[in-house]
A = this chain, B = another copy of it.
Amino acid sequence: MRITPENVLVSNLGPRLAKSPLPLSTDPADNMGCFIPDESRVRYQVELNTGFDSREDVFFEKAGPRELNFFRPEETRAAIVTCGGLCPGLNNVIRSAFLELHYNYHVQEVFGIRYGYAGMNPAVGKPPLKLTPDLVENIHEEGGTILGSSRGPQPDAVIVDFLVKEKINLLICVGGDGTQRGTHDIYTEITKRGLPIAVVGIPKTIDNDLMYVYRSFGLSTAIDKSREILFCAHAEARGAINGIGLVKLMGRHAGFIAAGATLASQIVNYTLIPEVPFALHGPQGLLETLRKRLKKRTHAVIVVAEGAGQDLLRDAPQEKDASGNVKFGDIGLFLKDQIAAHFQKIGVTVNLRYIDPSYSIRSVAANCDDSLLCDQLGRHAVHAGMAGKTDVLIGYWHNVFTHLPIPLAVAEKKRVSPKSELWRGVLLSTGQPKEFTGPGQTLDRPRPLDAAH
C-alpha cells in the first residue's frame, strides 16, 4: 500500500459534542498550551530537489487535544494493553496515558490488561488490573511492563465481547506491527457490530521499523545500551593482539540500532545491516578486508544486526515464533565461526570475542529521550481516543505527532535507506570499504523512501 492523499485519512467514531475538560486555550495571545484544530496537517515530504521523487500532496493529520471530543469523561472506561517483546518505555507509556486520563480528563475507570491480548480472553488470561496513581507512581523508572505482555493474537470476537462486558470504550494497544494488525482486526469487529468503542495504537518497535514513524520509543535507549556494549567490544579488541570484537545487535528487518550505535560510539570498523548485503569471501569480502585491517591496525570491531546477511544463511531451516515472525538464523554465531575458521585456515592467530547482549538491551528503563517520547505518545493516544479517533496509530513525523491509519502503517516495514544521512554517516565513520557492501546483490534491499533521509 503506497501512501496517497486518500489513505492517510483517519477513521472517526462520530461527531464531537463533548467539551474537553483540559485547561488549554484557543486564544493565540495567552500563555496557555493550545487545542489542536482537527484540520491541522503535517506534510509528508519536507525536502525538495534531492534527486529522489517526492510527494508534495500528502499530509498527515496532526495529533493533539481537541477542543471537542466524542467521549464524555464520565461515560468513559479505558484500558491499556502491552503486547509483544519488552521495549524500554512501556511503563512510561502506561503511566502517562493513565495520568492523562485520570488527572486531566477525569476518567474514573482505567484498567491495565494483563499479559497482552491474552488478558482480554477470559479463557486463557488473568483479570485486568485497576490502575491508580499509587500503583503507577514510580514505574517510569523501571524497565519491563507492570502489566506483563505476551505474543500472538486472540480471537477478535472474544476480545470485543470482553470490551462490551467490561464496558470499555477506549482501548489503547501498545505493540509492534503484529499487535497493530490485531488492533485493526478488533476495530473491524467493533465496526461490524456498530459499537462506539475507539481503539488507538501506540507503535512499539525497538528496531524502529514502522513506516511513517520517524523514531519509535525504545530506539534511543537501545542505542545507548548498545553503545556501552560496543565500548566493551572495543576494549576487548584493543586488549589483545589481533583482537576482534564482534557484537550482535537487534534489528530483524532494519539496521537502525546497529547504525545508530555505530555513530554514537564512533569505534566500529564494520557495520552489517539487513538492508545492505555484504560478501564474506573473495578479495572484497569481509574476511579479506578484516585480514588487511588486522595487519595494519591489530584490532577491529564488527557490529552485525540480527537480520543482516540472511542470504548467507539461506540453507538453515526457517522457524516462526508465537507472533508468527520468521525466526532468523543466527548471523552472529555464523560470523563468529566463519571468522575463526578463516583465520585458522590462513594461519593467523586472532583473539575473537563475541558478545550477544540479547535481552539485556530491551529490558532496561527508558533513557531521557525515550521518556520524553513515551510521555507524549501516551498522552496523544488519550487525546486521540477521547476525540473518537479509531483504527489509528500515534505517529511521529518531522518532530510532530500525527494520527496514522493503522492499515497504512503496517502495510510495509520501514528500513534504513542506503541513501540516507544515517547510512552515509556510517560509511564515513567506519571507513568500511565500499566494494564490500557493493551493489552486486539486490536481495532483501528496501525500496528507498521518496526522500533520502
* Chain A interfacial positions (CB closer than 8 Å to B): 22-24, 26-34, 36-37, 39-43, 46-52, 59, 62, 64-65, 86, 92, 95-96, 99-100, 103-104, 115, 118, 126, 138, 140-145, 148-150, 214, 220, 223-224, 227-229, 231-236, 238-241, 245, 260, 263-266, 275-277, 353-360, 363-364, 367-369, 371-372, 375-376, 379, 398-401, 418-421, 423-429, 431, 433-434, 437-439, 445, 448, 452-453
Contact = CB atoms under 8 A, between A and B. Distances in A.
- 9 closest residue pairs by CB, A with B: A33-B424, A144-B235, A30-B439, A232-B363, A143-B235, A235-B363, A31-B418, A398-B398, A224-B368
Given A140-B266, A367-B368, A232 B353 contact: no
A360 B355 contact: yes
Contacts of A50: 36-37, 40, 62
A86 B418 CA distance: 35
Contacts of A400: 46-47, 421, 453
A37 B62 contact: no
13 contacts: A28-B51, A29-B439, A40-B49, A41-B48, A42-B47, A50-B62, A140-B266, A144-B235, A144-B236, A231-B364, A232-B360, A236-B363, A399-B399
A355 B357 CA distance: 7
Contacts of A64: 421, 424
A117 to B, nearest CB: 12
Contacts of A429: 96, 99, 375
A148 B145 CA distance: 28
A222 to B, nearest CB: 10
Contacts of A238: 144, 148
